Amino acid sequence: MHFKSVALVGRHQDTGLDAPLRSLIDTLHGAGCKVIIEAATARNTGITEHPTADWAQIGESADLAVIMGGDGTMLGAARELAHYEVPLVGINHGRLGFITDIPLQNATDAISSVLEGNYEIEERSLLWGQVLRGEETLFSGVALNDVVINRAGRGGMIELHVELDGAFMHSQRADGLIVATPTGSTAYALSANGPILDTRLNALVLVPVAPQTLSNRPIVIPDSGLLSITITALGRVESGASVHFDMQTWSDCQPGDRIEVRRAQDRVQFIHPRGYSFFSTLRRKLHWNLMPQVSDEVE
C-alpha cells in the first residue's frame, strides 16, 4: 500500500495543534506525499496554505488519513471514512487514547516509518443501528464504539426488552444498556464494569448501566445477529430516553420505540507502526504491571 495523498484531521478544540500539524506536513512533503487538510481542521488551526477538502473529497482522493487528537476525533473520522476504505492512523493529542495510539512526541518517527512500509493493518467492526416507532425510522447511524440507550435527564429507570435474532434474551430495569464493539469495550462499557474484548473477536458485548437487579450481568454475543431492544416503560410519565451512536444522539424515545443494532457492512482500517500490540496499549493506558520488581536474591 502506497500513500501518495495523505489527509490530516485534527481535534478542533485543541490549542497549539497547528505546530505539530505543520511539523507533520513537513515530514509528509519530505517523503513526497501530497497533503490535504480537512476543511474544519484548516479553519480552526489557521493552516490554510495547503489544499483543503470535506469528508467526501478526502474519501475519494486520500490514500491515508492521519488523525491528530483524542479517541473522539478518531471516532468521527472512522464513521466518515469507513465507507471509502481510507485507512486511518492515530496520533494522540488527547488524554487516554486507546485508538489514537501513537504518542505525540513519537509522531514524526512513527509516520516516517509507516510511509516507508513499516506498518501493520488492523480491521475493526462498526455498528449500524436505527430507532423505530412502529414502521417509521426516526433515526439511524453508525458507531465505532457503541450504541447506548439510557434514561434522559432526571427520569427514573427505563425498562428494556432485548431479543437476538427474534429470540428473547431478557428484560431489565436499569439506567441504560450499552451495546459495544470490541473497540468500544475499552470506552463507556469498561467504566460500567464490562469486559475488555480482544479487538480481533467478531463479537459484541451488552453491558447494563446500573441495573436494578444485580444478576443482570454483561454478556458477550456474536456480532452476526440482529439485536432488537424495545423500550417497554419509562421511570416517569414525563421522562424520556435517548439513544447515542458514539457522539450522535436521538433524544426523544418513548415507550414502544424499538432500537435495532447489527454489525455494519463497512469496516475501519487502522494503520499501526510495526510492533503494535493491543495488550501493550492496555498495559500502558491502564497502568498494568506496575508492581515493584521482586528480587530473586535470597537475603
- Residue-wise pLDDT for 53-94, tens only, equals 999 999 999 999 999 998 999 999 999 999 999 999 999 987
Domain hosting 108: range is 5-117
Which of the four pLDDT bands, split at 50, 70 and 90, describes residue 215? confident
Which residues contact residue 98 at a Cβ distance below 8 angstroms, ignoring those fewer than 6 apart? 71, 183, 186, 187, 281, 285
The H or E element that residue 228 is part of is: strand 227-233
140: in domain: yes
List C-alpha distances in Å: 71 to 6, 230, 274: 20, 30, 21
Is a pLDDT exceeding 60 seen at residue 153? Answer: yes
Same domain, 166 and 93: no
- Residue 46 corresponds to which amino acid? G
pLDDT at 237: 54
pLDDT 10s digits, 40-56 = 999 999 999 999 999 99
261: in domain: yes
Is a pLDDT exceeding 50 seen at residue 149? Answer: yes
Is a pLDDT exceeding 90 seen at residue 199? Answer: yes
Q: Which three cell numbers stand for residue 105?
A: 512526541
Same domain, 188 and 149: yes
77: in domain: yes
Look over the chain and give the mean of its residue pLDDT values, rounded to a whole number.
91
* Domain count of the fold of the chain: 2
pLDDT at 289: 76
189: in domain: yes
Q: Give the gyration radius of the chain's Cα atoms.
A: 21
Same domain, 198 and 236: yes
User: Which has more pLDDT, 20 or 2?
Assistant: 20
Region 1-28: mean pLDDT is: 89
Catalytic machinery residues: 71
Same domain, 235 and 143: yes
The H or E element that residue 41 is part of is: helix 39-45
pLDDT at 295: 45
Is a pLDDT exceeding 60 seen at residue 184? Answer: yes
Q: What's the CATH number where 211 sits?
A: 2.60.200.30
Same domain, 89 and 135: no
pLDDT at 155: 67
Question: For residue 254, with 0-12 CB atoms within 10 Å meaning exposed, 13-18 middle and 19 or more buried, which class applies?
Answer: exposed
Same domain, 105 and 197: no
Cα–Cα distance, 164 to 166 (Å, whole number): 5
259: in domain: yes
Cα–Cα distance, 190 to 283 (Å, whole number): 15
294: in domain: no
Which of the four pLDDT bands, split at 50, 70 and 90, describes residue 236? low
Indicate the residue among 93, 117, 141 that finishes a domain: 117
Indicate the residue among 117, 142, 176 that finishes a domain: 117
pLDDT at 16: 83
Residues 131/250, Cβ–Cβ less than 8 Å: yes
36: in domain: yes
Q: What's the CATH number where 95 sits?
A: 3.40.50.10330
Same domain, 52 and 134: no
pLDDT 10s digits, 287-298 = 887 655 544 443
Is a pLDDT exceeding 70 seen at residue 196? Answer: yes
pLDDT at 293: 52
Residues 164/221, Cβ–Cβ less than 8 Å: yes
273: in domain: no
Region 149-160: mean pLDDT is: 85
pLDDT 10s digits, 91-118 = 998 777 788 889 999 999 999 999 999 9
% the chain with pLDDT above 70: 93
Same domain, 89 and 146: no
